[in-house]
Amino acid sequence: MSSPSVQSTSTYNNGDTDTGIATFPENNTAGNTLVVTVLALSEAILSVSDTANGSYGPANVNHTASYTGYREAIFTLFNCKAGANTVTATCAVTDNIIISIIEYPASYAGSVRDTGASDWTTGITNPSVLVTSTSAGDLVVGMTSNSTDTVQAAGNVGTNPANIVQAYGPALPTEDGLSSGGAINLTSLGATYGWSAIAIAYAPPASAATLDTIGFGAEV
């Protein structure tokens, strides 16, 4: 299954600044959802902003790998503005930063349903991060990092083996796909030394509208 994304790109800053910057190859479409995954080798990821929409607010997932100390985060912006757009991730001080940016049609992501994070040190054949709650049609995005692989292979196993299918990025594979329902496990297919992952599941707008009727959801 191919990625449901409209467009995506990734950059690596080589540790010479406190920001990671990536520009969408094409103009964003008004109302779409923007997802940003960030890996910093040692410093806290403070914020994400862009030239079209401003601040993304707090990270939906923010995790520090226990073995490597790598910082991993996923940020989301719903209902983006149309036009050219450059995204910046800012860390506490100068650091190696990898940023991946992805645009999805609004029909795939209306609200955050669930998140998960896990990491391992050594001796684990199939480590995974469990997103415990998804429904059929949910968009699932996950990212992995590893202390021993320049580019870490990753994939999905468990109850829905085809959910997370396509990778972006030089050393930060960001996987995405549509759930068929149930729990999601994101698994290392390469070395498992110092492996870490985070993931997020988005409910489509129909689910978000249901939540709004009981007092939850986006501001209007």
What's the pLDDT tens digit per position in 105-130?
999 999 999 998 887 765 555 556 66
Backbone conformation region of residue 16, classed left if phi is above 0, alpha if psi is from -120 to 50, else beta: alpha
Q: Would you mind telling me the total number of residues written for the chain in this entry?
A: 220
Sequence spans of domains, the chain: 7-212
Residue position matching structure tokens 């930060």: 172
What's the pLDDT tens digit per position in 153-190?
333 333 333 333 333 333 456 778 888 888 877 665 55
How many angstroms separate the CA atoms of 211 and 204, rounded?
A: 11
> Taking the model in full, what pTM does it have?
0.82
Tell which residue, 47, 66, 48, 57, has the closest CA to residue 117. 66
Chain CA centroid to CA 141, Å: 5
